[in-house]
Amino acid sequence: MIKKYFINFILLLFLSSSIYSQEIQTEYENQTMLKIMPYYQSWSGINNKNIKQYSSRLFLNYFYDRATRISLQSGYASSEVLENKISGLSDAQLSINHKLRKYNTALDLGINIPTGKEKIDAAKFPYSVLLSQDVFNMKMPILGQGTNIFAGITWANNISDNITIGLGASYQIKGNTAQ
């Protein structure tokens, strides 16, 4: 029994560490960051009705140059909602962020790639809805949404050391979702 907990602790320790790599080239500094972040969340309710989730999120950031970042996010979640289990991979999200420093502006473009679980059988659907409620603040409330594309622009400027003003706009095209 102790061996099982020890192995799980060591595995959790390795999964929660960050890996950084840095390489300096002639014109640009490329910094790549790979981060795996495990979470465990639990809510207890009336009559021992519980909501639990173990999730592990993967973040990969690649800095092409000082102004451009390419990132990939995905993850896995295993949830137990009122003794019903829902688990699987989440969608992968690929995005590009470019900063126009001269204009204090950032441009964002991204796509949600449908690699996660989109369809849940009718018996588990009510539990999935419960899991996705904002009050529980689960790290991975849903596993898949289908293909989505988004674009955004953000502008910010310092008025003083303590005050910054900003303006942003974004647009999202949502693909077909599972029925």
Within-domain flag for 179: no
Please give the helix or strand (H or E) that residue 128 lies within, else none. helix 125-131
Domain range for residue 100?
Answer: 2-174
24-59 pLDDT per residue, tens: 444 444 567 888 888 888 888 766 678 888 888 888
Compute the distance between CA of residue 168 and CA of residue 146 in angstroms, rounded to an integer.
25
Work out the pLDDT band at 162, boundaries 50, 70, 90.
Answer: confident
Q: Kindly report the pTM of this predicted structure.
A: 0.67
Mean pLDDT calculated for residue range 114-135: 77
pLDDT beyond 80 at 107: yes
pLDDT, the chain, mean:
79
Within-domain flag for 63: yes
pLDDT of residue 84: 80
Compute the distance between CA of residue 136 and CA of residue 52 in angstroms, rounded to an integer.
10
Q: Which has the closest alpha carbon to 53: 118, 123, 143, 178?
A: 143
pLDDT beyond 70 at 72: yes
Work out the pLDDT band at 106, boundaries 50, 70, 90.
Answer: very high
Compute the distance between CA of residue 30 and CA of residue 65 in angstroms, rounded to an integer.
6
Within-domain flag for 104: yes
Within-domain flag for 18: yes
Top mean-pLDDT range of 76-80, 92-96, 115-119: 92-96
Mean pLDDT calculated for residue range 129-157: 83
pLDDT of residue 88: 83
pLDDT of residue 79: 84
- Structural domains of the chain, count: 1
pLDDT of residue 19: 43
Compute the distance between CA of residue 179 and CA of residue 173 in angstroms, rounded to an integer.
18
Within-domain flag for 101: yes
Mean pLDDT calculated for residue range 112-128: 78
Within-domain flag for 54: yes
Within-domain flag for 90: yes
pLDDT beyond 50 at 18: no
